[in-house]
Amino acid sequence: MTKRGKFIVVDGINACGKTIQIKNLWELIYIENNIPTVSTFEPNDKISDYGKKAREILKSIGDPYSKAVEAVEAFSKDRDEHNKSFSNNLSDGYYVLTGRYWYSNFAYQHAQLVSYKNIAEKNKGLIFPDLALILDVTVEESW
């Protein structure tokens, strides 16, 4: 029986270095330790229409509060599809690295006045990360 892989999330504000850190982790885990590894990201418009919808919401102009509940819905449904896309990898012993997860949903949509309870309910039943790295940098440092 294959040992379950690890699910590692790298999250933080836009342009804080998530992609670079995922690349560094991939090199450490796969290249240096020969552990099968895949990397993903959210929202993932290549996996589901929900990811496409989430990206459209992110790009939309106007009052961000007007689409906050819709954003929670799109992101959580995309996340469910995302989970389905890599759950077999975890079962097969792969490490799965992803940029963004529900942490961003809680931060951004709660700032848009969606309750934590609502966000948690929409993300219920999803795969819980083995490790979450939240990159804590200022906006000035990120850009």
Q: What is the mean pLDDT of each run of 10 residues along the chain (143 residues)?
A: 93 95 97 96 86 87 83 93 95 97 93 94 96 96 86
Residue 44's pLDDT is 85
Residue 120's pLDDT is 96
Residue 58's pLDDT is 82
Residue 62's pLDDT is 78
CA-closest candidate to residue 14, choices 40, 52, 42, 50: 42
Residue 45's pLDDT is 81
In angstroms, the CA 134 to CA 12 distance is 5
In angstroms, the CA 40 to CA 65 distance is 28
Query: What is the pTM (predicted TM-score) of this model?
Result: 0.91
Q: At what angle do helices 68-91 and 49-59 cross, to 10 degrees?
A: 140
Q: Is the dihedral of CA 16, 132, 99, 116 positive or negative?
A: negative
Residue 10 one-letter amino acid: V
Residue 143's pLDDT is 80
Contact 28, 10 (CB under 8 A): no
Residue 65's pLDDT is 78
φ and ψ of 30, to 5 deg: -85, -55
Residue 2's pLDDT is 81
Residue 115's pLDDT is 95
